[in-house]
A and B are shown apart, each in its own frame.
Chain A
């Protein structure tokens, strides 16, 4: 079992003919994802990889193929447009990988999505993967994952791979791993994913990986305390980051006391989470928790 994506996922890739889009379209398909369509304005009518039809618009792609998830690889100046085009076409789940989308654009996108039935994951995220149903919608290396019952949610890319690798090597499989992205304004939040994991019978425990900046982890802690009945292990990185400096991710800036790693750890501890003491202890902490 899993959340958001599974064997019924019919994937549409926006920017499929670009360098990143084409590389990852092949990787997603090779993992077992059902890639049904691509969209690149002006290249409609082509076939990607000899099998996947390319369309000029999302609306045409959805109409022809029944695509129900969109994965976006278009460059930052055009990412907001791509997200809104998919929402307009009624795609229920949109995953935006693009890094470097201006915050103002993301603000307008989130306003546009209000009242529409579209969930956005990202921007600036690695995507999501449900190993049990061979659905990989993103840029993560597929082979480190193994099917199981632990849900993973994180703001990071490679750190999520690190977490998954430690879990897999500890013999712990994953239901779904979701990277919600490192931008200050983004779609799906920790709370959204926690709610889905909490309701998913295929998920028995949750790993939450956060970082400095913002108050998303505190919101997660409040939700966990109130609603989550499954064990949660959490790691916060950036303990050594100086205040006021952007640590790579646009959202990873300590702008006040709530943005500090220590404030987030305290909130999660108070919510009853199992605190992962250092990034080397992800596998062992979760093993002890679910053991």
Chain B
């Protein structure tokens, strides 16, 4: 689950991470008031769940409070398209009005979990304000990764090592170590999957400040963070994906026109690749899960069909825990309820596949039944 910049900064500030003074505004009038409190000259930043805001015109400097109001008014209520949002963009419901900062240096700081090392790592770079992957590719010597032993947490010597790599002035070393410890603590306590401060700035007067912040929480740990659910902004997510997540269905909207419904994430990705190999494009990723029942299958199909770009449907079920006859009944139920019946190719295998095919044959629906992935590809290609 992604947080907005202002939410991430509020959370990090509670752990002691220094952030610029800033106020959230959801109207031009609120932005004027906020800028007034900050002395007039401010930065106005659109709050969306995506990077690349600056280049997309979502971050602007206001010369005075009235200007801040004008900028906020031009952003709030619009849709911001950045390199990371996709062509549909993300709605701007509020802006962050922030004090301007005199920057001496821009640095990079993040905490993530390294699956290969199986532990959290702190990553820093002296090349702040750039995509870290680009830095790692172009100038790998400017990126330092420090693995943290989860049994004892981040130690001060590790913080000093990172500060040295960043060539921080002597007076900024202790504050940096404290910031690293605070971020690591926040990362572990909130079950974060990523904390990224880019840039972390050293100001002209020698202070460290988190000028931007991204924070994502581990979806699988939300059960023990009831308070975090209030931070979710479903307006930043695709409406169908929100509906799917509430039905416990893994669904990701894509750009093609072949709707895919599959049990299992790996097989769902394989099915999308099959569609592509047949010269078509998948309209979605959809994993209905292992223990689905008839109702959940039906819900999944209806959800997929509510995407108007779906013109054909490929169902691929490998029955295991999920019996094919149950899946077939769910498909028939959904096609009976749906207001349109796009051409349907069904591939069923495994537990009760023959019974499932019989249910589909008896339904009177025009369904093309295939046995193998190759036949599925051929049917989609036609």
Contacts and interface: CB of A to CB of B under 8 A. Distances in A.
A248 B148 CA distance: 28
B319 interface: yes
Contacts of A240: 254, 269, 272-273, 275-276, 281-282
Q: Could you say which interface size class chain A belongs to? A: 35 or more
A167 B263 CA distance: 20
B321 interface: yes
Contact of A102 (B116, B191, B273, B287): B191
A280 B373 contact: yes
B150 interface: yes
B265 A102 contact: no
Interface string A144-162: 1000000000111111111
A236 B107 CA distance: 36
Nearest to A23: B321
B133 to A, nearest CB: 5
Nearest to B188: A104
Contact of B270 (A101, A107, A159, A214): A159
B318 A104 contact: no
A74 interface: no
A148 B276 CA distance: 33
B149 A280 contact: no
Contacts of A256: 133
A158 B252 contact: no
A118 B5 CA distance: 42
Given A240-B272, A240-B276, A279-B274, A156 B285 contact: no
A162 B221 contact: no
B266 interface: yes
Contacts of B265: 156-157, 182, 247-249, 252
Contacts of B86: 242
A141 interface: yes
Contacts of B266: 154-160, 182, 209, 211, 237, 248-249
Nearest to B372: A280
B171 interface: no
Contacts of A102: 191, 218, 220-221, 224
A157 B150 CA distance: 29
A279 B84 CA distance: 29
Given A157-B266, A238-B269, A278-B274, A248 B250 contact: yes
Of B118, B224, B263, B282, the most chain A CB neighbours within 10 A belong to: B118
B264 A103 contact: no
Nearest to B225: A102
Contact of B220 (A100, A110, A141): A100
A229 interface: no
Of A104, A214, A247, A251, the most chain B CB neighbours within 10 A belong to: A104
A237 B188 contact: no
B320 A139 contact: yes
A247 B276 contact: no
A156 B272 contact: no
Contact of A241 (B250, B275, B285): B285
Interface string A224-255: 00000000000101111110111111111000
Nearest to A123: B220
B269 to A, nearest CB: 4
Of B271, B281, B318, the most chain A CB neighbours within 10 A belong to: B318
A215 B377 contact: no
A250 B116 CA distance: 15
Nearest to B375: A280
Interface string A20-62: 1001000000000000000000000000000000000000000
B119 interface: yes
B115 A216 contact: yes
A212 interface: yes
A103 B116 contact: no
B320 A280 contact: no
Nearest to B131: A256
Among all A-B residue pairs, the 4 with the closest Cβ atoms: A156-B266, A248-B265, A158-B264, A159-B266
9 contacts: A110-B118, A111-B149, A139-B290, A141-B320, A159-B269, A160-B266, A240-B272, A247-B252, A251-B115
Given A241-B285, A279-B274, 19 more contacts: A77-B224, A104-B113, A106-B118, A107-B119, A111-B150, A141-B351, A156-B265, A158-B262, A165-B318, A165-B350, A182-B266, A211-B269, A219-B116, A237-B269, A237-B273, A240-B272, A240-B281, A250-B220, A279-B271
